[in-house]
């Protein structure tokens, strides 16, 4: 089953339509492979709440449990903090929180192969010449599952170009080497060459790993293309399939729904980070990734971040960000090569994040926070401002998406950076 079905609607699919398509896909799966006795569902975590994967996970779990199958749910955390109980309830509803399987990217993995150095060098156009080990959560290969369902949203992404599909496996439930090296390869190759595109260097890494090391794994993809006007999830498309073509189809639609072109470089852009979703700069820097191709040289990106209370998602990464800061691609690469930066080389994912989280001096980034001191924010390389004072001037409840005029100043407002990519049409090739 290359692609089972493609559903697309401008106003968004109804819950009944999504459930119906999932049921037909599972009917087809069981007709060809037999009844599902044990299933693993790998939805994204709460940072991808608007993927609608929570609803898909609930619907599939309900159907399979009614048929007598054992169903495990393991969110694709990558390096993120585990889903909290309140987040779980919001996203996954009546699925018991106690049933959540927490992926540990450092310890809970098994090595299934290695992408050769020659292949990596070819994929990266000679910019990376080391092999890349491939690790996944041991349950994927040792759990005896006859169905692995991976739901999630195809949306522009700073490392891979377009998120989801094999990324959900090799990063979401992957291990340290793949996570670190894939992010570093993406950073070295350049974010602007990846954002919003398919067949990027990192995507080609994941395609290679999937084809060579998990060719017979019973993975079924359920890929959504969504927007969230007013915070309400709208699923414009759902593509379900086993092969690569389901990603191809989802990417086509995501380029229409999730890429916005501005007519000229933005001198002032204000981005709001929902406190229930963004609690660290590791997550909140999507405000930078998704707007950098739209920002004018010398402009200012104002990040309204009322929920951000730390830099890294875990203590080790938080320490690295505080130590090295967001100081530009060339600076970070220079530090990365120093003999006294072994801690940064040991966590390439953090090094890549530092590169991605800087404007390379091209525009100013001002983080407006309530839970971190001004000195801490400035210490990692950002400008800092008080959230309350800045939000009084640029009120996220009053601004409309897109262009606004505030005190005679043109301001472009984005209420959620995770749902799109913004590009200056004048410079995009």
Higher pLDDT, 263 or 3: 263
On the CB side of 137, CA atoms within 13 Å amount to: 26
Give per-residue pLDDT as tens, 212-249. 999 999 999 999 999 988 788 999 999 999 999 999 99
* DSSP character string of 129-195: -S-EEEEEEHHHHHS--SEEEEEEE--EETTTEE--TTHHHHTTTB-HHHHHHHHHHHHHH-GGGTT
Token pair, residue 230, equals 């007013």
In terms of Cβ atoms closer than 10 Å to its own Cβ (0-12, 13-18, 19+), residue 36 is buried
User: 132 pLDDT exceeds 70?
Assistant: yes
Token pair, residue 420, equals 């799109």
The reported pLDDT for the residue numbered 98 is 95
The reported pLDDT for the residue numbered 4 is 59
**Local structure of 418: helix, strand or coil:** helix
Higher pLDDT, 5 or 147: 147
Which sign does the torsion angle of CA 131, 115, 349, 129 carry? positive
Cβ atoms within 10 A of the Cβ of 31, count? 8
Output the average pLDDT for the chain: 94
User: 134 pLDDT exceeds 90?
Assistant: yes
Q: H-helix or E-strand containing 378?
A: helix 374-379
- Report which of 52, 78, 422, 404 is spatially closest to residue 228, judged by C-alpha positions: 52
* pLDDT band, very low/low/confident/very high, at 10 (cuts 50, 70, 90): confident
Q: Are 177 and 193 in contact (CB under 8 A)?
A: no
Class of the domain covering 261-424: alpha beta
- pTM score, whole prediction: 0.83
Give the long-range contacts of residues 249-254, CB within 8 A, separation 24 or more.
Answer: 249/3, 249/6, 250/154, 250/162, 250/164, 250/165, 250/223, 250/224, 250/225, 251/154, 251/162, 251/198, 253/8, 253/154, 253/225, 254/154, 254/155, 254/156, 254/162, 254/225
Phi-psi region of 279 (alpha: psi -120 to 50; beta: other; left: phi over 0): alpha
User: 29 pLDDT exceeds 70?
Assistant: yes
The reported pLDDT for the residue numbered 6 is 62
In terms of Cβ atoms closer than 10 Å to its own Cβ (0-12, 13-18, 19+), residue 15 is exposed
Strand 38-41 and strand 70-73: pairing? parallel
User: 5 pLDDT exceeds 60?
Assistant: no
User: 44 pLDDT exceeds 80?
Assistant: yes
* Domain range list for the chain: 3-257, 261-424
Mean pLDDT of 321-350: 92
Class of the domain covering 3-257: alpha beta
Strand 295-305 and strand 266-272: pairing? parallel
User: 1 pLDDT exceeds 70?
Assistant: no
User: 349 pLDDT exceeds 70?
Assistant: yes
């Amino acid at each position: 089953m290359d692609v089972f079905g493609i559903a697309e609607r401008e106003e968004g699919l109804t819950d009944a339509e999504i459930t119906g398509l999932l049921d037909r896909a599972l009917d087809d799966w069981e007709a060809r492979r037999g009844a599902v006795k044990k299933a693993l569902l790998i939805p994204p975590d709460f940072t991808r709440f608007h993927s609608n994967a929570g609803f898909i996970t609930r619907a599939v779990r309900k159907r399979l449990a009614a048929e007598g199958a054992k169903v495990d749910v393991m969110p694709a955390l990558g390096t993120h903090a585990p889903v909290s109980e309140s987040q779980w309830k919001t996203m996954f509803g009546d699925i018991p929180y106690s049933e959540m399987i927490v992926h540990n990217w450092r310890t809970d993995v098994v090595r299934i192969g290695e992408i050769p150095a020659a292949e990596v060098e070819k994929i990266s156009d000679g910019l990376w010449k080391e092999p890349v080990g491939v690790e996944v959560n041991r349950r994927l290969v040792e759990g005896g599952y006859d169905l692995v369902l991976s739901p999630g949203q195809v949306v522009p992404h700073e490392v891979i170009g377009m998120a989801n599909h094999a990324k959900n496996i090799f990063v979401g439930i992957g291990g340290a080497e793949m996570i670190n090296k894939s992010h570093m390869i993406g950073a070295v190759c350049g974010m602007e060459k990846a954002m919003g595109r398919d067949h990027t260097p990192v995507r080609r890494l994941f395609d290679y790993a999937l084809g060579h090391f998990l060719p017979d794994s019973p993975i079924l993809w359920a890929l959504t293309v969504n927007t969230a006007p007013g915070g309400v999830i709208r699923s414009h498309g759902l593509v379900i399939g086993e092969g690569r073509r389901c990603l191809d189809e989802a990417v086509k639609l995501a380029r229409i729904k999730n890429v916005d072109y501005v007519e000229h470089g933005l001198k002032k852009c204000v981005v709001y980070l929902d406190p229930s979703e963004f609690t660290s700069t590791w997550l909140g820097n999507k405000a930078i990734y998704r707007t950098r191709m739209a920002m004018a040289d010398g402009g200012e990106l104002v990040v309204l971040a009322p929920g951000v209370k730390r830099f890294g998602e875990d203590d080790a990464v938080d320490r690295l960000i505080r130590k090295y800061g967001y100081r530009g691609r060339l600076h970070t690469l220079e530090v990365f090569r120093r003999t006294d930066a072994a801690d940064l080389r040991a966590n390439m994912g953090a090094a890549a994040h530092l590169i991605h989280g800087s404007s390379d001096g091209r525009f100013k980034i001002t983080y407006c926070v309530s839970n971190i001191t001004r000195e801490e924010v400035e210490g990692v390389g950002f400008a800092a401002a008080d959230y309350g004072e800045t939000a009084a001037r640029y009120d996220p409840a009053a601004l409309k998406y897109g262009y606004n005029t505030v005190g005679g100043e043109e301001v472009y407002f984005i209420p959620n950076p995770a749902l799109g990519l913004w590009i200056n049409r004048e410079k995009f090739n």
